[in-house]
Chain A
Amino acid sequence: MYIYDEIDQRLVDERVAQFRDQTRRFLANRLTEEEFRALRLRNGLYIQRYAPMLRIAIPYGLLSSTQLRKLASIARRYDRGYGHFSTRQNLQLNWPRLEDVPEILAELATVQMHAIQTSGNCIRNVTTDHFAGVAADEIVDSFVWCELLRQWSTFHPEFNYLPRKFKIAVNGAVNDRAAVAVHDIGLHARRNAAGEVGFAVLAGGGLGRTPLIGRTLREFLPWPHLFSYVEAILRVYNRFGRRDNIHKARIKILLKEWGFEKFRDAVEAEWAHLKDGPATLTQADVERVQARFTRPAYEELPDEALPAGAWFQRNVHPHKVPGYAAVTLSLKKTGVPPGDATADQMDAIADLADRYSSGELRVSHEQNIILADVRQKDLAQLREEAKALGLATPNIGLITNIISCPGGDFCALANAKSIPVAEAIQRRFDDLDYQHDIGELDLNISGCMNACGHHHVGHIGILGVDKNGEEWYQVEIGGAQFPAALGKVIGPAFARADVPDVIEKLIHRYLAERDSEAERFVEVVHRIGIQPFKESVYGHAHQKPADRREPALA
């Protein structure tokens, strides 16, 4: 865990006082709706379909058991006894009262938490690999760099009113589990021949209604220049990003409209002035932050042979320290909205973290909980306890580990519901042997083209669309997180009731086409293209009784 210093603590305390004052002024009609909107959004407070929604920051997904217990108690006291872990590694409460929010923020501040910059047109929570610091394929511990970026970007005075929201992701491992290529800025840690640390810098990636893969501005940026380079990108974006149309305001559109060369040249020209300036990072900066991270005291243990069984295969992950493993507690039990956890579950998870994983846990962007430092000899016991809590579904990486946004059941932006679709698919593929036979498959669902469910990078992606007030679902295939690829729409949208059948047809086609069990669904799509899948779903001559119009909202 990163432990706050006095400045960190004072900042969140002052922020609570500031927001208390702003809420008071709003309720006394001293702030306009528009003014208060920008201010409350910077504290994670949205006005949603049925109630306000409060998005609490979990910086880079890292939580202590104490913090999770606090979240449980807040969910009980100020909400309806549950919370939703989002694809941005945050926690959302769906039913708080506006008047209570300053008090909730004050409670969060007592455990070094906040809701700062979880919404609004500013630099959002920096996200990373949920195996940071323990991954067997680690290049650097990305938490340290994320925390440096958190400090740099929190209340950055120049970038408080950007054209649109801004998301930075950092990957510190060989495999990219942070999907950096679909972020406004993606940072991929590298080491050069001399062993020095630097970053490949990508910009202009993103999902939403214009999904794009980020372009590489720098193959290797030495780490001391990290802030100044990011600052150069943000300054170019702040000055020249479009502000006339909210749907064209992300940095990816600027890059697209200008073209890669012009954009890169503008960033490089800006950076020429900032390079080696006050934003330059020093070894002392890095060490100061590093020193505030607590790490588990690992015992010297031998590696053990893992027991047989689906859970050990799917939910247990390699660890860089011998004798240890990382474990995923699945929040994807059939029938439970993906990413939701009750307050009681949160308390129970906090207890598991204390007993099995040094009191720390992580939230993954796949909306599960990770215990990162479990002794291999404790795995069997942990599995029994997790099972009793409904958190041991052995489906990590499989079709029922669905990523989903809250959708039309909660979200004011959604065109369609997501949760019932997720559940119907989970029920269809509930047979674990069948799931394991299908093998690795990411299925992602978004209730609208804002793409909070990351449907573009699902091997199968489902998008809720609105047509004349009815909910329809468009299906795309072939997307992937790493190496990043965007899915292709297979054809006209379907009614909700037809979605499980459609998915099953895709799966049957895959099973018939694959070379071997080793060839995953997404690889087959990339090898043979989408046409055979289209034929399986829509038939050759006569067509499915679905809407034949070209979807307007691709």
Chain B
Amino acid sequence: MATLIRNRQIAANPPSHSILRLEPDQDVAAVADRLVHVERVEVHFPKFGDGRGFSIAKLLRERYGYKGELRAVGHVVRDHLGPMEAVGFDSFLLKEDEDAEIALGAFSDFPIFAPAKLHR
């Protein structure tokens, strides 16, 4: 079972029709004008070590001003949640069978994934 975490809590996952799903090799600029029309953007992480989605999230939030739900899907595990939240994700569909209670612990960690900001 894959659990959804949203706003740092286990959440229900009702179906939605207005979703924009982005693969890591997709050109964000090409879909930028659709962002205002969607309920949620999903960024796919195909495997543990593939970090392209982190840059995509930064682009969505900072360059294109996307304010809606930004969900990480795919190989999403506890040890990703800190940095994912730091780049702008607020919603996480955990990988199959990832323990949601353990994963939630990520949010009570000291926010070590934003040290540059902490120092300033």
Contact = CB atoms under 8 A, between A and B. Distances in A.
A152 B115 CA distance: 7
Interface string A20-54: 00100100001000110011000000000000000
Interface stretch (B10-18, B36-44, B76-84): B76-84
A35 B49 CA distance: 9
Given A14-B110, A22-B79, A121 B49 contact: yes
A3 to B, nearest CB: 14
A22 B102 CA distance: 11
Nearest to A243: B50
Contact of B54 (A25, A157, A273): A157
A161 B82 contact: no
Contacts of B56: 239
B54 A159 contact: yes
B83 A30 contact: no
B119 A30 contact: no
B58 interface: yes
A281 to B, nearest CB: 10
A81 to B, nearest CB: 33
Counting contact residues on chain B (CB < 8 A from A), the size range is 20 to 34
A536 interface: no
Given A157-B82, A158-B58, A238-B55, A18 B87 contact: no
Nearest to A39: B79
A301 interface: no
A227 B119 CA distance: 14
Interface string B32-76: 000000000000000011111011101000110000000000000
A2 interface: no
A279 B120 CA distance: 10
A277 B86 CA distance: 17
Contact of B51 (A10, A152, A161): A161
B119 A151 contact: yes
A158 B55 contact: yes
B31 interface: no
A160 B84 CA distance: 10
Given A22-B79, A35-B79, A235-B58, A159 B112 contact: no
B51 A14 contact: no
Interface in A156-190: 156-162
B30 interface: no
A550 B103 CA distance: 53
A498 interface: no
A64 interface: no
A15 B110 CA distance: 9
A161 B54 contact: yes
Nearest to B45: A161
Contacts of A30: 99, 102
Residue picked from A5, A30, A239, A277, most chain B C-beta under 10 Å = A239
Interface in A337-386: none
A155 interface: yes
B101 to A, nearest CB: 12
A38 B49 contact: yes
B51 A159 contact: yes
B116 interface: yes
Contacts of A66: none
A154 interface: yes
B118 interface: yes
Nearest to A22: B79
Given A35-B79, A285-B120, A238 B54 contact: yes
A277 B63 CA distance: 11
A11 B82 CA distance: 13
Contacts of B113: 155, 157, 160
A541 interface: no
Nearest to B89: A157
A160 B55 contact: no
Contacts of B112: 11, 14-15, 18, 155
A30 to B, nearest CB: 7
A194 interface: no
B79 to A, nearest CB: 6
B57 to A, nearest CB: 8
B79 A152 contact: no
A161 B77 CA distance: 14
B87 A157 contact: yes
Given A34-B48, A35-B77, A121-B49, A273 B63 contact: yes
B52 A239 contact: yes
Given A7-B118, A30-B99, A285-B120, A238 B79 contact: no
A288 B118 CA distance: 13
B114 interface: yes
Interface of A: 5, 7, 10-11, 14-15, 18, 22, 25, 30, 34-35, 38-39, 121, 151-152, 154-162, 227, 235, 238-239, 243, 273, 277, 279, 285, 288
30 contacts: A7-B118, A11-B112, A11-B115, A14-B110, A15-B112, A18-B109, A35-B79, A38-B48, A38-B49, A39-B79, A121-B51, A151-B119, A152-B116, A155-B114, A155-B115, A156-B116, A157-B82, A157-B84, A157-B114, A158-B54, A158-B55, A159-B51, A160-B113, A161-B49, A161-B51, A161-B54, A235-B58, A238-B55, A239-B52, A239-B56
Query: Which 7 A-B pairs have CB atoms at the shortest separation, nearest pair first?
Result: A161-B51, A157-B86, A157-B83, A14-B110, A157-B113, A158-B54, A152-B116
